[in-house]
Structure 1
Amino acid sequence: MAMIRPFVHIIILAYTFVGFFSSPTSAQDQTAADSLLNVLHTDDTISDSSRCVLYYEIAFYSTDPSERIHYAEQALKIAEELQNDQLIAFGLRYKGNGLRSQGQLSEAIKHYLDAASLYAGSNKGLEAGVIYIDLGDIYAIQNNYQNSLNYYRQGINIFRQSKDSVKLATALLNVGELYRTNQKLDSAIVYFQRSKAIFSKIGYAIGLAYNLGNIGLVLAEEGKYELAEENIAKATAILVKIDDQYPIAVFQTALADIYANRGAYDQALVYGHTSLKIGEELGLKEQIRDASLKLSEIYQSAGNSDEAYTYLKQYIAYRDSINNEETIRQMADLRTAYEVSKKQAEVDLLQEQALLNNIVVWCAIFIIALLLILTVALLKIYRIKDRAIRIVRERRRVIAAQRNQLDEVNKTKDRFFSIISHDIRGPISNFQGISGLINVLAESNDADGLKQLGSMMEASAKEVSVLLDNLLEWALSQEGKIPYHAEPVKLKELCQANLGIMLNMAMAKQIELRGRLTQEVIVDADKNSVSTIIRNLLSNAIKFTPEGGEVKLEIAEVDGMGLVSVIDTGIGIPKDKLNDLFQLKGMRSSWGTKGEKGIGLGLTLVYEFVQLNHGQIEVESEEGKGTTFKVYLPLTKKTVLAESN
């Protein structure tokens, strides 16, 4: 596997104050920050100016970006009340440091430039040098190599002139990191070694830790893994003591890369997930991005494509969040504004061409204002047009959906009336020949024949009656005219009534019809529609059960619902018809065990009435063994309350 360079930027975020704070000698020490917080919370006699300084020191030492921002903002409020430009500049820079750690780069650079503007034309050259390093760091994060190097060099020149060892070593360290991220490894090592020598000489622990870690990263990229791991281990040991988590996360990513190149994927994943966890806990977008990319590469090498894809998506999301075009544009605009402000300060100091410069500035402002007004107007026009297009598209979509729905309804009705016209012809035809048969049988005094003919007429009449009842109820349900009056319904009483209605039909086929109605079950439903459900299911069961068979009607309470079960020992239902059993599709005509005609409308009506009563229906069937229909209806609230008590 080829060496994949980890995309990192190790940046020193802390510098000592010159001529302002005397106590701090190192930065990013959470223990020191916690101690200062204790002082802040226990001493009520601190003056405003001292409290402001204390807030800055806490922000200076804190390793939590959110905490840095919070205390820098607290200090800024006091500094603005005191109208102290130096204090305001410190607060702007520290808040910028916190914003940068969170990946809010455009906001960070704005705060840095505001701080630099306060130093323009003053004797605060050293503080201006710190801001140049900060700006170089921001452009390094954005991979803007030339701008970053220019700002670093300006800072280095200031620090060399002032002979400030810590700041000079820090600037050298960041230049080395810039060279490393641009694959100029020889130059990177030179700057790291120079920085390391200064930090070692003055005993600056955190600077030494960053140098050791960065040297380890260079060695890793050169394939010298053992030396790289040794340097990173030394750096991590120092950083753990001062609780500086951000560089630890970066170095964990580097270790993950080292072990991945060795083929030790399990250990590599441990380091990668550790780095990601730190980034997520501290809200470090850049580190989350780098760790996600490394985990994606490791999982891909280990053959786990699903996990690799998951972390690749996370990497792309964070990469785009940090490097989006709007952020880059804002940074370019801020840098341009700063350069203009810097030149204007120089002109003010020389007191030359003041009037001309003012005219130029006002003209620029006027032009920018016109451009902004034009941009806003065009944006509003675009939004109005886009909104109109979206509304038209949505209305077209709704109309198309309604048209499709109407087409489907029409097709269903066409199928329905086709079925009715086909299947009602049989019973009606029976009546057409009855008058002739009556005359023939009457002339021959065939009493038995007349009785048999009477039975046939009765069966045909019942068949037509049931068919017409179902047709009427189905048609009313399609138009939404079925009356629905929910009330407590006693299933035992309702089932007994319908058993009595169906008893003659069952006896005619020598079928044993019996009910198991020992338990009183009360449901909240419409009584008429529930009766139709029971009647149709019983009629269907009798129709498809042969002579000598059995049909049972049972009720019970199951899982907070009332259950009505119709069980028969009939011919069963083929598996290929179960899925469309309750839908009115195609020619649904079928014949009972004694030639009874059916079109499937009854089951469709049963299904719709079950839905009307907020219930459910299930069917279990096996060909040659019988069928069971189960209808679940909601119990009344009184029943539910009684059971819960």
Structure 2
Amino acid sequence: MGSGNFFSLLIFRLGLGLIVLLISSSLYGFTPQDQSRIKQLQEDADRIGKNNLDSVLLLLKMAEDLAIKEDIQKVQAENAWIKAKTYYSLRDYAQSQKFGEQAIKIATPIKHFQVLGDAHNLLGLLIKREGRTDSAIDEYKLSLKYKELLSDSLGIAKTLQNMGLAFRALELHDSALVYYQKSIDIKSVLNDTLSLAKTISNLGTYYFDVGKYQTAIEKFQEAVKIYSKGNHQEDLARNYNNVGSAYLRLGYYQLALNFYLKALDEYRALDLKLEEGNTYYNIGAMYSYMSNIPEALNYYSKSLGIYESMDNDLDKANVFLGLGELYLKDRKPEEALKYFKMCEDLYAQKGKSSDLALVQHGYGKAYAQMEQYPKAKAYYQETILRQKELNGTNDLGSVYNSLAVTNYRAKEYNEALSNYKKGLDIAKELKLPALTRGSLLGLSEVYEALGDSKRAYQYRLQYETVKDSLDNVEKSRQLAEIREIYESEKKDEQISQLELENQVVNAKSEANAALAAKEAANKLVFIILAIALFVLALIFYFYFRQRLVLTKLKVNEEKESHNKEVNQLMIQQQTKTLEAMVEGQEQERKRIAKELHDHFGSLMATVKVNLTTVASNKEVTPESELQMQHLAKLVDQACVDIRSLSHTMHVGISEAFGLVPALKDLTNSISQSGKIQVSFHASNCAEKLDSTIEITAYRVIQELVSNVLKHAKATKLTIQLTCLEDIINIIVEDNGRGFDADFLMKNSQGMGLKSLQERITELHGEFEVDSRSEKGTTVIIDLPISIEQTLLKV
């Protein structure tokens, strides 16, 4: 049975079913007591949510109108809860709280536990936003009580997660961890992936708060993988931001910037201004760490503009703190003190003890720059006491380093050594490379001032080691992040909107039909007949339209199939031609080399023997003997030249030894010139490969090395060869002047990188060029191990 006939029959049956349904509705009618109808209207309103508030309110009004007297309070409580949830998604928190409290008021006397559990949980979120965290915890406890009465495991898990967030806001991190873990345990059993991702992300924030940034990154990335599989852009962006902040604390600035920019793109697409402002702030902080003052000021200004438009005092305080730190880097301590004072006032109003400790640290650094060392040390000591009370171990390490800097400037070297070592101990305990690096450098400087050159050198060496390690780790992680593909399918919002509008239209039509059931039977008959005719017209329309679409699809499929076969044959023929050409060239080189070596070499050796014999004849005059000796020397030189030419004509790869020895000879010969430093590394290439693939690989590397010598003006060249199970990986890297790879690949004429790329592509390999101006060039090539097997697959 054809797909067109099947589709037509399906539409016909649906149409017939609709007609029967309409006729039965006209005979019996929808009664106001129909509970399933009320439930359907509420579910439609809940599903539409923030996309169409007017439709939500209309559907809930229709549901309430259909309710009987005995059920009116139950329906009103449920409607109030749906309104509270809808306004929360619209970020209208005042209206959300109003309807949440209304839902609780209506649901309490009738003991509607589901509404009570959900509404108390929502009120907890709203109250926590106002900074009343203790009251929020009370709401969560009420929510847990009702969820437990209902045995609602998922609801319990979500409320436990919110409890963890509340305890985190109170900086009770151990209590927060307990609630996060309880939530994860329940969600793991329920296999609720998306809800589990949210709790895993919150667990990442716990590890961030306690200074375990590497573990935090692992948790955030775990959540990212889950959110990337669906349309969860806001959650994805939040975790991108979290990963960026963790990398920033570890000192991996470029990695942090990459994730911040990903988050910024998502927030802009969703038009979430507050989150966009937070990301601007994070990028400003990152540039501040890098001492890039203009860029830091730019992003701080963008975030401050958004916060001021939203009257968000706490976030403004964070920006003021960042600006204070930035002006310290710009050696403007008086300006920094102004901003520290502004944020101190706001933090005090909000009761942010941990942030006040950061302000005290800023005051200390400002007075240290002003060379008011006693005042600076007093602020540092106050900060240390605050951080110890708050268990802020990571920030405590930074304060010890700052105090040590002030001791050093005041020539209090023993105190400086003690404080640097305290900072170093914390840095090593928490595995913080940036803090470790600062402590080691400071210790080196202090020992140098004390005249202990040996210890100064030891700490300086450790500092350089950590610095190089930090750079190498960031580079490798950055490459890994670039290669990793984050795929997320985005829904077509226009289609979704149309579907929602259609749902609203259908709901209105059905409601009108229910109300119209009370009218006269004759009028309903005419309406039903009109609808029946309309449905039949739609059936015929879709039937002929489907037939036309199927016909076009069949023609396009046949055309695509034909084109695909032609292209496949052309590619196969081109590959075979290239293989034959390469093989022919190599055979011709071998034949000429053998002819030169065997025939002409032996011939010239014979001539040499004859000439020597003549020269040794005693009857020959001294003049002729000298002439003969001269000729013998010329023949010797000819033999040497012919032997050299025969080796040069060979492919460069010894059939007895293979590709790796040939490449070693190539790099040794280049290195002997003394103009460029060449290194060659081979991994897992002990066995000799197929001669065809060895020749191809050698020619490709020869061409790339030639390009470097001709154009790159490099001083270092690295060749890496890795043999895997199915492929050979080739990496040729130089530190030359670089070039615009995209432009060159599109506009180059004749031979060069473009021809190399085409050759690799024809052999079913992969070719990648990474080059930036004055940053060198890296070429990465993957070649199949067996070209013959590759050709058989074509």
Give the TM-score taking structure 2 as reference length.
0.38
Q: Which is bigger in relative contact order (C-alpha 8 A, separation at least 6)? A: 1
Give the TM-score taking structure 1 as reference length.
0.46
Structure with higher Rg: it is 1
Question: Higher helix proportion, which one?
Answer: 2
